[in-house]
Amino acid sequence: METLIVTGGAGFIGSSFVRLALAERPGTRVVVFDKLTYAGNLANLADVADHPGYAFVQGDIADRDDVRRLFAAHRPAAVVNFAAESHVDRSIDDASEFVRTNVGGAFELLDAARRHHRELPAAERERFRFVHVSTDEVYGSLEADDPAFNERTPYAPNSPYAASKAAADHFVRAYHETYGLPALVTNCSNNYGPYQFPEKLIPLMTINAIEGKPLPIYGDGGNVRDWIYVEDHCRGVLAALERGRPGGKYNLGGSSERTNLQVVEAICDALEAELPARANPALAAAGVASYRDLETFVADRPGHDRRYAIDDALARRELGWAPAHDFASGLAATVRWYLDHRDWCEEVESGRYRRERLGLAAR
């Protein structure tokens, strides 16, 4: 049985990928390696905890000893790296952990993979893959009439988070070019779906609205993001693992550009369909008649990129991949999940995060 190491596998996107890999690769043993920081939680993997192909190892990708013990103990046939500090606002307040994890951690994984790869028998060396999961934020910001990001778009990161991910992407390329490590990069648009930590836009707005709390919208609400349902993104990563070119790079998008204000209004409408405002006592207590009445415009994020958009033609052509969910159906399923899993929300927040505003240090 081949072993696939999934770093950051207890996080939002990583846990979705773990479930997908266990379901679609029955001959693979999936080893999750995660530090279990505030955004990584074993509650995200509770439904696969008893799966015979699943194993968990707690550790830090930026700790050389942890990483090398991991490779020595499990001798992977492939590695997929989801582990990262990912919240832009937190990177504005303090970029140090982003540099340590996103840059230093990527380096430790790559160097351990290089050492492991060169010691494999020829046939196993040929099959080995290292997939690094990155973001569209490395490309910078687009104007309204600019073409979407493609794999040849120059890097122009604007936040400390984006800069740390860009540095990691460059290390992946360098390890392929210099050492022949069969590594590749995927760059995705904004993910949404079940198990997303409540600091991100869609779960934050959904949970706040359910509780009758304000829905804080940065600036004028006109910042545009392309949204991809998390399972669609994970299927793209799996396709890259199985069919991607070593040294290659693939953009994965959802073809669903929306302004932040449009997203918040869509959440309000989806909640109205599932839990009408008149039936939600939290709204009555807040003195409002509808979810949209909770919308509140707040000071913008420093250096807030205006627009992201993904051209995923290469992934569609080379990987045979395409997203299966449109934004409306994916959002409806997401809102329904949060309504049905309030206990999960309470568990993962558990005093470590109170939905406070972050990212104002630059002011």
Q: Which residues are catalytic?
A: 136-137, 161
SS3 17: helix
194 alpha-carbon distance from chain centroid: 12
CA distance 29 to 2: 6
**Helix H or strand E encompassing 129:** strand 129-135
**Listed residue (199, 226, 249, 211) closest to 358, CA to CA:** 199
Which residues are CB-contacts of 361 (< 8 A; sequence separation ≥ 6)?
Answer: 92, 93, 94
Contacts of 334 (CB under 8 A, 6+ apart): 192, 193, 194, 202, 206, 229
- Cβ atoms of residues 341 and 197 within 8 Å: no
Cα separation, 5 vs 112, whole angstroms: 12
Centroid of chain to Cα 274: 26
CA distances from 28 to 4, 25, 236 (A): 7, 6, 18
Contact 83, 35 (CB under 8 A): yes
78, containing H or E segment? strand 78-81
What residues have CB less than 8 Å from 50, skipping those under 6 apart?
none
